[in-house]
């Protein structure tokens, strides 16, 4: 199979609220919108895509008509600390404070209005001892 596009499709309870959240706080712009589905692209140098759909729309098989849970969106940025301050100022819930990980990430985890986690990450140097242990 050869992909022409790949994006998460989040099943949400309130489409307008979720779309507004990703527009205002993360710069996504709609490329298609209806009352039950919205397809968005990142307003940046990379063609990142995100789609949201009302969780009980009849295009979803009945077994899957539930709000998305246990999903983490990972956004790599230039400065996770600056983004952490920005989202905290905007009142976005931070569920894990900014921290550095031994495996080479500085990150903060926030939550969208539907409880989808957003991991905002800047790559940093991994701990050399940790890295050595991982290489066997």
pLDDT in tens, 57-115: 999 999 999 999 999 999 999 999 999 999 999 999 999 999 999 999 999 999 999 99
Residues 111 and 87 in one domain: yes
Residues 33 and 84 in one domain: no
Mean pLDDT value across the chain: 94
47: pLDDT confidence band, cut at 50, 70 and 90?
confident
Residues 105 and 82 in one domain: yes
Residues 99 and 64 in one domain: no
* Rounded-to-integer distance, Cα 116 and Cα 81, Å: 20
pTM of the model: 0.90
Q: Is 118 helix (H, G, I), strand (E, B) or coil?
A: strand
Q: Which residues contact 18 (CB under 8 A, 6 or more apart)?
A: 10, 12, 52, 112, 113, 114
């Amino acid at each position: 199979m050869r992909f022409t596009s790949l994006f998460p499709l989040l099943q949400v309870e309130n489409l307008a609220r979720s779309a507004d959240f990703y527009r205002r706080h993360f710069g996504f712009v709609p490329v298609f919108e209806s009352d039950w589905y919205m397809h968005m692209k990142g307003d940046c140098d990379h063609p990142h895509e995100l789609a949201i759909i009302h969780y009980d729309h009849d295009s979803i098989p009945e077994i899957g008509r539930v709000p998305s849970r246990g999903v983490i969106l990972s956004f790599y940025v230039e400065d996770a600390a600056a983004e952490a301050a920005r989202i905290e100022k905007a009142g976005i819930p931070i569920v894990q404070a900014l921290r550095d990980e031994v495996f080479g990430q500085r990150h903060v985890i926030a939550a969208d209005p539907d409880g989808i986690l957003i991991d905002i990450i800047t790559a940093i140097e991994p701990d050399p001892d940790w890295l050595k242990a991982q290489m066997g």
